[in-house]
Amino acid sequence: MEANHTEKLLWSEEFADHATSKLDANTWNMELGDGSEAGLVGWGNNEREFYTNDSIIVKDSLTIHAIHQGANSPIQAYYGPAEWTSGKIHTAKKVGFKYGRLEVRAKMPIGQGTWPAIWLLGTSLNDGVSWPECGEIDIFEGTGAHPFQVQGTVHGPGYCGNEGLTKLIQTERLLSDDFHTYAISWHEDSIEWLFDGVAYNKIMRGDTELQGKAWPFNDEFYLIINLAIGGWFAGEVDTNLRAAQLEIEWIKYYSENGIGELFLH
């Protein structure tokens, strides 16, 4: 880190300090269902989980529990009885971020078919701008099929889905063995990804604009954390898998050299 580099903590969520087992409703929204009500059946990815309130528990950490429900599940998903329940939360219209350094301390799930994600979407999505024009920044996205793999990606117009700008690295230990810090250092003309404080990917504004494609990352974004099961990215789910969990110890947001803006709605 540069000698003159300065950071200022603008916002944090320390889940071990929570007085109750519930999330702060002034910060977090619960996403529910299988995406059908949002017009995204299977959340647009053929996912198998059904998001519920009781899949999320706060006790020493925030834990998203994915539980296999079996063929007799009373919950109806788009494909029939819901095979899995899980959890998804986000800060839309409550807490937003623009530039700076965002860090999440997390322990990943294990098991073929798990799909944990810590990501950001542009708030313009709530104002009628469609995806991927609103922009998406994946701080971390992984699967149980690749339990040693860390991946950071951006999606925008002309580079989304399988064409997102991305890089991945391999770790020496399973990401499910312990907590690690997943972070981005985000500025007007660049986004850099870090794993346990070490940078491993940097995408520049010129990387898109030289190809005539927009850079939709200079506005407010909101944070999303979820544990999906199955879908195009995660692949087939292990038929013997019965449970998985994504744990979040804390989230911290800093300005860097005075750059970084927190929005509280």
Give catalytic residues, as residue numbers.
136, 141
Question: d(Cα 251, Cα 123) in Å, to the nearest integer?
Answer: 19
5 residue type, one letter: H
Report which of 23, 21, 22 is spatially closest to residue 94, judged by C-alpha positions.
23
Distances (CA, A) of 170 to 12, 173, 202, 213: 28, 9, 17, 30
- Which helix (H) or strand (E) segment holds residue 190: the answer is strand 190-195
Instruction: Tell me if 86 sits within 8 A of 49, measured CB to CB.
Output: yes
Q: Supply the DSSP string of 198-213, one letter for each residue.
A: EEEEEEEHHHHHTTT-
